[in-house]
Structure 1
Amino acid sequence: MKRILLGLIAGLLLLAGCASVEVGDYRAEKPALDLRQYFNGRLDAWGMFQDRSGKVIKRFHVAMRASWQGEVGTLDEDFTYSDGTKQKRIWTLTRQPDGSYIGRADDVVGEARGELAGNALRWRYVLALPVDGKVYNVNFDDWMYLIDDKVMLNRSFMSKFGFELGQVTLSFTKQD
């Protein structure tokens, strides 16, 4: 009987360890993130892509200009990578009546879905990612955390068919 009880407790602990973090877990965290306020004006971001072993594959800088017209925002991003390549992405964000966000960009397959609570934003989307002349549709689980009125940290987990491909880490700094 003791072994059965220990096995049951071990199984419950294992299941509890598999529970995922939800954006609502950050509801009480301050400062509260207001996307329309933070992503407004000029921002700079510095980041890196790491493969699943943790090796840094690419570093990059993003110069961003952001603006809003009512409930619709535009994030105009210019990427410069450590290998000298450049990329442009323009996001259109739309605030939904329930407080969530929908995001669209040319290289996003379908729509990005964003949930916001406290200081955290979670984006989930599929990105058409070019690699060595081919394009792969990669799932992104993108978490952003407002640190203060100028700084936001971002961690993105990339996967395909449920397997982790790597992570992207970014630090945003609001310029104005």
Structure 2
Amino acid sequence: MTLSRIFAAGALALAIAGCSTPTPETYAKQSPSLDITRYFNGTLDAHGMFQDRSGEVIKRFVVVMRCQWNGDTGVLDEDFVYSDGTRQKRVWTLTKTGPGTFTATAADVVGTARGTVSGNALRWQYVLALPVDGKVINMDMDDWMFLIDDKVMLNRTAMSKFGVNLGSVTLSFSKRPATGAAPQ
């Protein structure tokens, strides 16, 4: 097989794969219906892991999120503790821009994240300035969240650079009871 045929076959495979990518609207009829102003309100606990592209778990982490809304603007204040003992803080500011759409910013996000909610699904895409081995790499993040019930949401994020898969993040969110008590 010639090099040009290999490239043509690869391009065709990418085109076909691109046609089958789900959109948030794919989940429009799924329930429970996600209202980000309701779910991301109060305190949430999250447990997650980062896997490299081979599937090896590189880091595990826990997150405490304190969330509140004022009209169409929400603040998600996240405190991360990683398995190697390092800590990180990220504060998101979300703005509802229309029915089922929002934008978001954070100090380590390049530009503006854009999100769409439909049914029980939320997808947002952004570029994260990620410190790696003393350098900062701008990583493309494709973030999908699925509401399981009024307390639990599952999250899977694909991380890539120049279209090449570099790994993924998997998270489970648990909403604390309104009293602020830790989940049982």
TM-score above 0.5: yes
Superposition map of 1:8-157 within 5 A: 15=16, 19-157=20-158
CA distance in 1, matches of 2:16, 2:157: 24
Q: CA deviation at 1:18?
A: 5.0
Q: CA deviation at 1:19?
A: 1.5
Over the matched positions of the two proteins, sequence identity in percent amounts to 63
Q: Cα RMSD between the aligned structures?
A: 1.6
Deviation larger for 97-106 or 63-72: 97-106
Alpha-carbon distance change, 33 to 15 in structure 1, aligned in 2, over 3 angstroms: same
With structure 2 as the length reference, what TM-score do the two structures score?
A: 0.86
Query: Structure 1: which 5+ runs fail to align?
Result: 1-10
**Letter of the structure 1 residue corresponding to residue 159 of structure 2:** M
**Letter of the structure 2 residue corresponding to residue 172 of structure 1:** F
CA distance in 1, matches of 2:110, 2:16: 32
**Letter of the structure 1 residue corresponding to residue 118 of structure 2:** A
CA distance in 2, matches of 1:170, 1:108: 19
Q: CA deviation at 1:98?
A: 3.9
**Letter of the structure 1 residue corresponding to residue 50 of structure 2:** F
CA distance in 2, matches of 1:43, 1:93: 16
Query: Structure 2: which 5+ runs fail to align?
Result: 1-11, 178-184
Give the structure 2 partner of residue 161 of structure 1: 162
Give the structure 2 partner of residue 5 of structure 1: none
